[in-house]
Amino acid sequence: MSDKASLQIILANPRGFCAGVDRAIEIVEKALEKYGAPVYVRHEIVHNKFVVNRLRDMGAVFVDELDAVPDGVPVIFSAHGVPKSVPEAAETRKLEYLDATCPLVSKVHRGAERHHADGKHILLIGHAGHPEVVGTMGQLPPGSMTLIETEEDAETIEIAEPENLAFVTQTTLSLDDTAKMIEILQRRFPSISVPKKEDICYATTNRQHAVKLIAKKAEAILVLGAPNSSNSNRLVEVAKREGCTRSVLVERAKDIDWSQLEGVSNLGITAGASAPEILVEEVIEACRQRFDVSVETITLTDENVTFKLPKQLAS
């Protein structure tokens, strides 16, 4: 008879890596195979320290800007996308580059370009300073796009030609928050052009819906993800909004504050789109050392999305 307290772990499915993250990591791995180390990567390939450190150990060198990349070596652009000035600078230096931008982010870029070609001013719903937002705004000339971060922004933004307007969104936002901002924009600017298909990606959508399901049963939720991961932070917010107020973001098992789980008998676990499954397994193992654990998985949907590699790496 175990003297450990019982703990039921409720796993959200889908969780963890999405197709865009899988593709980005595979691009770095295959580039190392093809070219040998070092391969340079501009910015973190995805927002996860464990992933970045593993790739660094394999020979990837992560840099903040292109000018830190020496001549004659390949460079990879991160999954979040880059301003057009970055590949242009690489071409000027005759650097071979591989673009690991998630295809769903690229879709937002192309949508913004189409709206711009139609003469529309574009509102981008997103978070200032996030690499994806920097990359999206950098697809067009300065002044072509205005950032909307909050409902207040949506309510107060003044537009010179309100009848000549479109919006796009960052792919990793809160579905509920974004819906409210879109509602405000459509009320204020009835003729605003909308994306053909929602910009918030399938993985963000699925992970938020799945965490809502486990929030109904869990007394606390651990979200595996990095502090700078937009989609992971949104999962914490969604869980709290669904009533599971003891929801926290942790990078790894060693970061868990076990005092926060005192008295908890139902613990939800999910992971952001750039957090590998090995970190979820690590947390479950840490729980087993302290509790008598049983595991239940709640599945919203099974994902089977895949994206092609860049032609330089296609085998």
The CA angle 246-252-255, to the nearest 5 degrees, is 60
| Cis check: omega of the bond before 38, within 30 degrees of 0 | yes
132 is catalytic: yes
The CA angle 11-79-75, to the nearest 5 degrees, is 140
Q: What letter does residue 217 receive in the DSSP assignment?
A: T
3-class secondary structure, 111: helix
Distance CA 177, CA 150 (A): 8
The CA angle 43-306-101, to the nearest 5 degrees, is 25
Contact between 70 and 93 under an 8 Å Cβ cutoff? The reply is no
Sequence-ordered list of residues with C-beta below 8 angstroms from that of 279, at least 6 positions apart, any chain: 50, 224, 251, 252, 253, 271
Q: Which amino acid is at 214?
A: I
Contact between 167 and 125 under an 8 Å Cβ cutoff? The reply is yes
Sequence-ordered list of residues with C-beta below 8 angstroms from that of 53, at least 6 positions apart, any chain: none
Catalytic residue among 44, 132, 242, 251: 132
Q: Which amino acid is at 141?
A: P
Contact between 77 and 101 under an 8 Å Cβ cutoff? The reply is yes
3-class secondary structure, 7: strand
Sequence-ordered list of residues with C-beta below 8 angstroms from that of 187, at least 6 positions apart, any chain: none
Which positions are catalytic? 132
